Amino acid sequence: MHPKVSPLLSGTKVIPVLVIENADDAQPLAQCLVDNGLPVLEVTLRSHEALRAIEIIANQVEGAVIGVGSILTEMQLNAAQSAGGWFGVSPGVSERLLQALKLNDWPFLPGASTLSEIMILRDAGFMEQKLFPANIVGGVPMLRAISGPVSDVSFCPTGGITPDTADDYLIEDNVFAIGGSWIAPVDLVRAKDWHEIGRRARNAANLGRQWRTAV
């Protein structure tokens, strides 16, 4: 069985999904999220500054648990680990990436969008997966439908989740966390609006509190 991501979350239920275009924003953004109750972050490799941003957070923000998202290749997998990531995330898994993951004991959350993909990842030892893009592939009804045949797999749904729908996901037994881009969207990061991001983070940290248990 591949190492799970959930033990790193320490009960955290919401993971902000981040695109950091300017590495200078990395420290204040991460500090804002950690200070407001969201210590687990997914920094996506969707900008040229992403790896540098990860290094800055790893070195300067105490308490930050860094996930590295949008990993597509073995090269990115290795770079994410070297930059200081605690775990990796992918939108899906190619055959080549899956082979690299099998040889790597880094906690990893591979993406799946169909039952066949979920079963392939399950056979490879991944009992925690990212359902992506969650709202498009069926959302909560999808999670409920697959909870029977793959009851031993847990998910972190990501993609299209909003503050209004977050609790609908978090109440499901086969959901251990959710990912959300609404907390620190690119426009707020560009504007350095840490006040608004902090407010959103505090609200997100309270989501699902009634179902929260220590992992």
Does residue 42 have an active-site annotation? Answer: yes
Distance, in Å, from the CA atom of 129 to the CA atom of 137, rounded to the nearest integer, reads 14
Cα maximum dimension of the chain: 46
Question: Do residues 17 and 158 make contact, with C-beta atoms less than 8 angstroms apart?
Answer: yes
Q: Does 102 participate in catalysis according to the annotation?
A: no
Which residue out of 13, 49, 128, 130 is catalytically annotated? 130
DSSP of 69-90, one letter per residue? Answer: E---SHHHHHHHHHHT-SEEE-
Reading across the β-sheet that carries 14-18, which strands appear in turn?
108-109, 87-89, 65-69, 40-44, 14-18, 178-180
Active-site residue (options: 42, 117, 128, 192): 42
CA separation for the pair 7, 20 (Å, rounded): 26
Active site residues: 42, 130
